[in-house]
Amino acid sequence: TAGITQAPTSQILAAGRSMTLRCTQDMRHNAMYWYRQDLGLGLRLIHYSNTAGTTGKGEVPDGYSVSRANTDDFPLTLASAVPSQTSVYFCASSSASGDYNEQFFGPGTRLTVL
Amino acid sequence: GQNIDQPTEMTATEGAIVQINCTYQTSGFNGLFWYQQHAGEAPTFLSYNVLDGLEEKGRFSSFLSRSKGYSYLLLKELQMKDSASYLCAVAGDDYKLSFGAGTTVTVRA
């Protein structure tokens, strides 16, 4: 079982360009999440989806958008990248959005915006 | 808002014990998680506490005091492979996780 996969592994992007980070899980989890991780700040929630067809904003949603067309996929789009979006991005999933909800993390995407 | 504090770095000797403290002030409480993250890798789940007390799992134990907004992760019989960052995360009112900045533990021979 692959668990959660993310693509690409790393990317260098010119400022102003758009990009979609891909995330796919095969655990049939209802809830999915996108975090960014920056040195000294820990993981911060960007967007989440409690179930297919619904999305919500996390702590740092500006400049990012998401969609959840089906259970397995949860892409994150940067419409016009800026250097402050340089970070490591982790996708995660959990079986439920409430109660006990251990989250499983993907391997991450390292994004550099120049 | 959510405020979760943990020390930035700790160093310990192989075979020793290390205790990583985490204090939190959050909007509601629905459980506290500890994750381990090796450099360049994804976080992986270590423990979950929702009631006061100690949860033991092999060499790792986690303690929670809800009235004090306090938790600790205890690593016993330290091994070199335990060198990693340890993340404290609290599930708030909406069950979303808020993470501390992480504690980097270095195990020395």
**In chain B, positions 57-86, which contact chain A (CB-CB < 8 Å)?**
none
pLDDT of residue B2: 81
Q: Tell me the count of A-B CB pairs closer than 8 A.
A: 49
Residue among B43, B50, B91 minimizing CB distance to A105: B43
Q: Which residues of A touch B89 (CB under 8 A)?
A: 43
For residue range A61-108, list pLDDT tens digits in order.
Answer: 999 999 999 999 999 999 999 999 999 999 999 997 677 789 999 999
Split at pLDDT 50, 70, 90, the class of B95 is confident
For residue range A23-70, list pLDDT tens digits in order.
Answer: 999 999 999 999 999 988 889 999 999 999 999 999 999 999 999 999
Asked if B45 contacts A93 with a C-beta cutoff of 8 angstroms, the reply is: no
CB contact under 8 A, B42 and A107: yes
Q: Which residues of B touch A60 (CB under 8 A)?
A: none
Best residue in A102, A104, A110 for a mutation probing chain B (most B CBs within 10 Å) = A102
Split at pLDDT 50, 70, 90, the class of A1 is low
pLDDT of residue B33: 96
Asked if B71 contacts B32 with a C-beta cutoff of 8 angstroms, the reply is: yes
Split at pLDDT 50, 70, 90, the class of B69 is very high
Cα dihedral B98, B96, B2, B90, rounded to 10, equals: -60
Average pLDDT, chain B: 95
pLDDT of residue A94: 94
**A11-24 burial: b if 16+ Cβ within 10 Å, else e:** eebeeeeebebebb
**How many angstroms separate the Cα of A64 from the Cα of each of A6, A54, A56, B91?**
17, 16, 12, 23
pLDDT of residue A40: 86
pLDDT of residue A97: 67
How far A112 CA lies from chain B's nearest CA (Å)? 15
Lowest mean pLDDT among A2-16, A87-101, B38-52, B60-74: A87-101
